[in-house]
Amino acid sequence: MPTTTKQDTFKTINPTTGKEIASHAYMTDDQVEESIQQSHKAFLKWKMKSVEERGEIIKAIGKELQNYKKELAELMTDEMGKLLKQSNQEVDLCTAICEYSAEHAPKFLKNEERDLSNGGKGIITYSPMGIIYGIQPWNYPSYQVLRYTIVNLMAGNSILLKHASNVTGTAKLLKTIFDTAGLPAHLFNVLVIEHDQSNAIIEHDLVRGVTLTGSPVAGEKIGEKAGAQLKKTVLELGSNDAYLVLDDADIDVAVEKSVMGRIYNNGETCIAAKRFIATEKVYDEFKEKFVKAMDALKVGNPKNEDTELGPMAREDLREKIH
pLDDT at position 240:
83
**Contact in structure between 207 and 131 (CB atoms under 8 Å):** yes
**Helix, strand, coil abundance in the chain, percent, nearest 5:** 50, 20, 30
For 53-62, how does the pLDDT look when each residue is reduced to its tens digit (9 = 90+)?
Answer: 999 999 999 9
With a cut of 90, say whether residue 36 has pLDDT above it: yes
**Contact in structure between 258 and 276 (CB atoms under 8 Å):** yes
**CATH architecture designation of domain 242-321:** 3-Layer(aba) Sandwich (3.40)
Q: How confident is the model at residue 239 (pLDDT cuts 50, 70, 90)?
A: confident
**CATH architecture designation of domain 35-109+125-237:** 3-Layer(aba) Sandwich (3.40)
Q: How confident is the model at residue 271 (pLDDT cuts 50, 70, 90)?
A: confident
- Cα distance from N-terminal residue to C-terminal residue, the chain: 16
**Contact in structure between 113 and 125 (CB atoms under 8 Å):** no
Return the C-alpha torsion angle 214, 234, 182, 12, nearest 10: -10
- Main-chain phi, psi angles of 14, to 5 degrees: -75, 115
CA 30 to chain centre: 27
Q: What is the DSSP letter of 299?
A: B
Of 213, 85, 109, 217, the closest CA to residue 157 belongs to 109
Vertex 230: Cα angle to 224 and 233 (nearest 5): 65
In terms of Cβ atoms closer than 10 Å to its own Cβ (0-12, 13-18, 19+), residue 229 is: middle
Beta bridge pairs of residue 236: 213
With a cut of 80, say whether residue 5 has pLDDT above it: no
pLDDT at position 197:
96
Q: How confident is the model at residue 118 (pLDDT cuts 50, 70, 90)?
A: confident
> Across the chain, how many H-helices and E-strands are there?
11, 11
How many CB atoms are located within 10 Å of the residue 11 CB? 18
With a cut of 80, say whether residue 2 has pLDDT above it: no
* Higher per-residue pLDDT: 164 or 119: 164
Domain chopping of the chain, boundaries: 35-109+125-237, 242-321
pTM for this model (two decimals) = 0.93
Beta bridge pairs of residue 13: 20
- Main-chain phi, psi angles of 110, to 5 degrees: -70, 155
pLDDT at position 270:
87
Q: Could you give the CA distance from residue 149 to residue 159 in angstroms, rounded to a whole number?
A: 6
Catalytic residue numbers? Answer: 236, 270
